[in-house]
Amino acid sequence: MTRTPPTPRRALITGGASGFGLGVARALLDQGASVAIGDLHAGRLREAAQALAAGEQLLPLALDVTAPDSVRAAVSACETAFGGLDTLVNSAGVIRITALDDISEQEWDWVVGVDLKGVFLCSQAAAPLLRQSGRGRIVNLSSDAGKVGFPNIAPYVAAKHGVIGLTKSLAAELAPFKVTVNCICPVGTPETTMGQDVLRMKVSSTGASAEQLMAATAANVPLGRSGTVEDVVHAVMFLLSDEATFLTGGTIDVDGGLINTAPIRGTAG
């Protein structure tokens, strides 16, 4: 029996000019999708558009996920360019490493605004088009920090825990319209812009070299290596595939076993 190829998706990817978002954009474009990449950084957006070189399939958009007008304009641009929207990948994110006593209200609002409020605003704005499509998908990028409490990144941990809760609520509300909503929890990777920022901050605060810190991080992962952008892209693409039509409200930990396993002290391996 000949299998009918899936209908190419019409997608909006926030934070789409770098890291996980850019990786997902490239994978979707390879499948023939129409893809909008939204990003706050104009220079990064231009570089991504040049690298992807996808012609009319690609729509670069200036997007501030914390600003409702900017979000609505981006969704409207997708509708005009693509004739609708059936896919939203919320990948935009920021982080800062700051001790509890030094976190300002401004820093808290900024991190939570991008990492949690932005997911809400984009999902809310895209929902009408996702419902109309009959095959809507939302994939949210949380983090291992969405399940574990880490020191010195309280706003980030709070926001990423919130993304998991928001994912479950949206899944329940949008299920009657055949819209699935799922979440990816990656372990940090030095391949992304955020990963590089975190690595620099750790080098500055610990005095260790980047190589030492990356080796220590990999050694803590049960599967023995750091995560990659491709690891996350594969998980996102599965959730966007026809094989995932009955999955909603869930999370996939792309972390090499870091969150859900622990060694027994005193044993080998």
Sign for the CA dihedral angle at 17, 21, 24, 28 comes to negative
Give the β-pairing of 87-90 and 251-254: unpaired
User: Is 156 one of the catalytic residues?
Assistant: yes
Please compute, for residue 225, the number of CA atoms within 13 A of its CA located in the half-sphere on the CB side: 5
The one catalytic residue among 74, 87, 156, 232: 156
- Bridge partners, 140 (sequence order): 90, 183
The residues, ordered by sequence, that sit 6+ positions from 31 with a Cβ below 8 Å of its Cβ are 6, 8, 9
The pair of three-digit structure tokens given for residue 231, joined into one six-digit string: 């690891």
Q: Give the residue ranges of DSSP H helices in the chain.
A: 19-30, 42-52, 68-82, 105-112, 118-133, 154-174, 193-206, 210-220, 229-240
Active-site residue set: 156
